[in-house]
A and B are shown apart, each in its own frame.
Chain A
């Protein structure tokens, strides 16, 4: 097993630039996730690490070794493909044993190791059958087994859980996490599903249009998103963004919106642009029954009940809509008037043009 480092990866396919300078480092034994919308460059990054694609610029290190000139078959990198790519003409056993056979591992040991990994993945009973009849979850287990059995330097997973039922997906995500903890396998996991990334990864790199948006621990990305893109991508329902004007009144800064004003206090605010995006997560909007100073009147537009939680679409006086999450208690229905309070200590300001975070958390 080994650490992975990529530096300055660039790759264009014809006129489309898939990667525009991607750099990151994955520590030995780390569960690292590449998170981004479809087309962000996740798969291309993985394929370059595997050697299936060569970058136009940039380098890849596996451990201490620069592998630019190492053939993919000799890189000792395993990959679980999005379409899983099982060998349909071989039994699950032969699928999993393939990398070991190629490494001339003695037959007895192959048998032992395949059985061991099959046990871990709970697919012992499938070993003699071909993948044609397997369920989606079973196929993924076989593909993961094939990738893990030889203990590669790094295991790349290209959205292996997409198209699974939500329930099985959660179950498999949990198992993957456990497997990673048990084996200490370095893993790079590409996904467009933030929940998968957040629930499994030690660190996440959010990429967008072939560029890094932010890298950090899941909590850090949630608490301190560097950009409105990350803020919107992590969390569900997504963060609310409200365009506001910044006005300077007698040495004081005021955030001006048609439905409300917020006075900003604090140092270093002089460089604020005139127009900003106020970002506030649905879970950080509080509902109040009665008017208190600073509360905003609003009307319930749509109510989605998700067990204990209710997701509300709220309409402010000027027509601006905000999503809010309420836990337990009151039963609300469309048309109900109420008051809301934004938790200022959890709110952000973002640049309207670049999307970079200017202020927050906390205004």
Chain B
């Protein structure tokens, strides 16, 4: 008896220990970023490093929005940078629109390819080939197109690219969820008198909404953090947050404080989105309940 209880106890301890180690590995960089964002310049890369700043300051956050504001001695360093507002607005507009468009197109394409074999059996694979090359391979031809269309440094250019590049993910991820809905459920609804579209919206969509939420979150994060294309296709007007982060570099070095502060601020929408969607990630999978 004694030894069994002892073993249960050590098991629990080991499980907790493993959990803590894993969490530490994943959380440490985040905590570090949070820590730096509240540090004054002299502490950014001070050695030995301190987790809790000696002098806690919010000046890194202030200069994000007011570059040149002399507070904490950071402002002068980043006075060349734009206020973060524009990048934030751009990201807030571009990313949700592109994500929604990708999700809608991807879902409909997935539905058409799974239920009607639209475009032939290999169409989904064909769509996937857009992800088989690094995005930069597409950048030069797209640059030519967008220049001709006058779309360089516009939100529209980013929306088009982000939508296009993530459709493959939307299509492939939602396909699996659609296949999980028995065909007979849709046929039953049709015999009840529903049109195809009605079946899609009242039967299939509610049954895959958990999957759509997961796909949406995934695509949202991809787009929210995209740097390469945004860096190439924008210069001033349409820059996004990841591009803005790269602007906190001066002749004398990197301005880790504002970078970290922006990282923290930029994480908020993703965390909020994840939190909202979380409920749907867990539920939504109502399949397998159709028959015992």
Interface size grouping (class) on chain B: 20 to 34
Interface residues in A15-63 by Cβ distance below 8 A to B read 50, 52
Q: Which residue of B lies closest to A99 (CB)?
A: B192
Scoring A72, A85, A139 by chain B CB atoms within 10 A of each residue's CB, the highest score goes to A85
Which residues from A are CB-within-8-Å of B291?
A: 83-84, 136, 139, 163
| Partner of A99 from B193, B203, B286 at Cβ < 8 Å | B193
Is there a chain A Cβ closer than 8 Å to B290's Cβ?
A: yes
Q: Please choose the segment from B70-78, B183-191, B262-270 that sits at the chain A interface, where 4 or more of its residues have CB less than 8 A away.
A: B183-191
**A72 and B185 alpha carbons, distance in the complex (Å):** 14
CB of B290 within 8 A of CB of A72, answer no
17 A-B residue pairs with Cβ-Cβ distance under 8 Å, sorted by A, are A50-B187, A52-B190, A72-B190, A73-B192, A79-B191, A82-B184, A85-B182, A86-B188, A87-B185, A87-B188, A87-B203, A88-B185, A98-B192, A99-B193, A136-B292, A139-B292, A163-B291
**A65 and B241 alpha carbons, distance in the complex (Å):** 65
Scoring B189, B194, B207, B289 by chain A CB atoms within 10 A of each residue's CB, the highest score goes to B289
Shortest distance from the beta carbon of A84 to any chain B beta carbon, whole Å: 6
B residues with CB within 8 A of A = 182, 184-185, 187-195, 198, 203, 206-207, 286-287, 289-292
**A258 and B236 alpha carbons, distance in the complex (Å):** 102
Which residues from B are CB-within-8-Å of A139?
A: 291-292
**A85 and B188 alpha carbons, distance in the complex (Å):** 6
**A139 and B192 alpha carbons, distance in the complex (Å):** 17
Which residues from A are CB-within-8-Å of B193?
A: 73-74, 76, 99, 102-103
CB of B189 within 8 A of CB of A98, answer yes
- The verdict on A73 contacting B195 (CB below 8 Å), with A81-B184, A85-B188, A88-B207 known, is yes
Which residues from A are CB-within-8-Å of B184?
A: 81-83, 85
Interface string of A129-149 (1 = CB under 8 A from B): 001100110010000001000
CB of A85 within 8 A of CB of B190, answer no
Q: Which residue of B lies closest to A143 (CB)?
A: B188
- The verdict on A131 contacting B289 (CB below 8 Å), with A73-B195, A88-B207, A89-B206 known, is yes
Known contacts A98-B189, A163-B292; 8 additional CB pairs below 8 A are A50-B187, A72-B190, A72-B191, A73-B191, A76-B193, A85-B188, A98-B192, A131-B289
CB of A88 within 8 A of CB of B191, answer no
Interface residues in A78-116 by Cβ distance below 8 A to B read 78-79, 81-89, 98-99, 102-103
